[in-house]
Amino acid sequence: MRLYGLKNCDTCRKAMKALPQAEFVDVRADGVPADVLAAAQARFGDKLVNTRSTTWRGLDEADRAKPPLVLLAEHPALMKRPLITNGDEMYLGWDKTTQAALGVG
């Protein structure tokens, strides 16, 4: 199981505490493999980009119009967090649905 997020993100920290067996990948330092990002985009669509973040608010209209995968490659902190992969399964965010699916919380 891998958890993609930011080490200074409170939500990611909560997820890591509940999932101590997960391998943490800092998206700012290490990035997200292109195949994982593409699979997440295919599965979650527009939900993958966090449009409520300060990074998003700092972008101009030209940047916001870029395809999501290009945007996330340029600004990894724009990804909604955490992105959790477990084999073929993928979860986005740390809500009650994700926690229940992973058997925690």
pLDDT score, position 48: 96
Query: How far, in Å, CA of 12 to CA of 80, rounded?
Result: 10
Segment 16-55, tens digit of pLDDT: 999 999 999 999 999 999 999 999 999 999 899 999 999 9
Is 90 exceeded by the pLDDT of residue 105? no
Query: How far, in Å, CA of 97 to CA of 24, rounded?
Result: 20
Q: Which residues are catalytic?
A: 9
pLDDT score, position 40: 96
Query: How far, in Å, CA of 85 to CA of 92, rounded?
Result: 9
**Domains defined for the chain, CATH in brackets:** 2-13+20-101 (3.40.30.10)
Among 33, 70, 77, smallest CA distance to 56 is for 77
pLDDT score, position 8: 93
Percentage of the residues of the chain whose pLDDT score is greater than 90: 96
Q: Are 72 and 45 in contact (CB under 8 A)?
A: no
Segment 42-91, tens digit of pLDDT: 999 989 999 999 999 999 999 999 999 999 999 999 999 999 999 999 99
pLDDT score, position 94: 97
